[in-house]
């Protein structure tokens, strides 16, 4: 058996050697046991069916110069050990095998192209496919949940038009205006000008385009005029607030 039939992988610091045996991937039992914390590979081999394991002579020195023969296991044997292991490493090892090792082996072509119809009749292959599919589904579900607040934020912003006063911005964000004002003050967006009740945007937020001022001149009852400055939240600022302050967290 030439060394070209050996594909070396590494799970962390632990080597995991895979061998091409008649076009199928076989794993060195000693490597698998080392990862799963099984101290006795010979005992682990007794838990496998005869068609899940094989013994090879160490003619090419693959298993080290002191080893005369070594045991390899196929995918069915691999899953039998992984799924029955209670070690914490088993879960990570299973994901690594299904997401990295098996796809890498298929891409090289050295183990042949998988026949879909044959895979349907191969319990070991189906087990690996189902495990890989389950891992991917769970991973995608996690990504969807992580992105949900951002998606909801963009949906709310999509219906807004131009800048909004803080009260209207709070309505768009589905929060209490008092809560939004408190958030803006505590997070360095606005401050209250001394000697008045007016809320003023910090210059940095104006420069970032998150807030803007709208100045209005109103007439008093005595005929004099008064200038009022109103803080308004821009669409860009609304997007930032929606991401940092989701509705569930803001509801009071």
Q: In this predicted model, what pLDDT tens digit does every residue of 113-166 receive, in sequence order?
A: 444 555 556 565 556 556 656 666 767 777 667 666 656 655 555 555 578 899
Please give the Cα distance from 219 to 7 (Å, whole number). 84
The pTM assigned to this predicted structure is: 0.42
Distance of CA 87 to the CA centre of its chain: 23
Mean pLDDT: which of 52-61, 97-106, 226-235 is highest?
Answer: 226-235
pLDDT digits (tens, 9 = 90+) for 38-67: 888 899 999 898 889 998 876 655 555 566
Neighbours of 77 (CB within 10 A): 25
- Give me the residues paired with residue 19 across strands: 6, 26
Please give the Cα distance from 235 to 164 (Å, whole number). 8
The answer to whether the beta carbons of residues 102 and 16 sit under 8 Å apart is no
Q: Which of 27, 26, 22, 76 is nearest to 48 (CA)?
A: 76
* Distance from the first to the final alpha carbon of the chain: 70
CA distances from 65 to 13, 19, 39, 224 (A): 21, 18, 21, 101
| Rg of the chain on CA atoms, in Å | 32
User: What number of residues does the chain have?
Assistant: 252
Only one residue has tokens 């967290």, namely 249
- Please state the domain extents for the chain: 3-142, 162-250
Share of the chain above pLDDT 90, in %: 20
Please give the Cα distance from 190 to 193 (Å, whole number). 10
């Amino acid at each position: 058996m030439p060394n070209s039939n050996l594909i070396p992988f590494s799970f962390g610091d632990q080597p995991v050697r895979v061998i091409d045996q008649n076009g199928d991937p076989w794993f060195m039992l000693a490597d698998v046991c080392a990862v799963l914390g099984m101290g006795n590979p010979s005992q682990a081999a007794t838990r496998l069916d005869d068609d899940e394991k094989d013994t090879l002579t160490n003619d090419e020195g693959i298993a080290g110069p002191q080893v005369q023969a070594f045991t390899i296991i196929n995918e069915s044997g691999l899953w039998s050990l992984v799924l029955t292991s209670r070690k914490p490493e088993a879960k990570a090892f299973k994901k690594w095998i299904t997401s990295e090792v098996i796809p890498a082996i298929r891409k090289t072509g050295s183990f042949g192209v998988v026949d879909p119809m044959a895979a349907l009749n191969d319990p070991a292959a189906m087990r690996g496919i189902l495990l890989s599919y389950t891992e991917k589904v769970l991973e995608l579900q996690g990504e969807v949940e992580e992105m949900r607040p951002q998606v909801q934020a963009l949906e709310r912003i999509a219906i807004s038009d131009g800048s909004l006063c803080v009260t209207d911005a709070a309505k768009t964000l589905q929060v209490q205006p008092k809560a939004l004002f408190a958030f803006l003050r505590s997070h360095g967006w606005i401050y209250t000008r001394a000697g008045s009740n007016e809320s003023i945007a910090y210059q940095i937020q104006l420069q970032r385009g998150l807030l803007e001022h709208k100045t209005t001149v109103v007439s008093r009852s005595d005929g004099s005029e008064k200038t009022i400055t109103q803080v308004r939240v821009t669409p860009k600022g609304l997007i930032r607030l929606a991401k940092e302050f989701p509705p569930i967290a803001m509801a009071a």
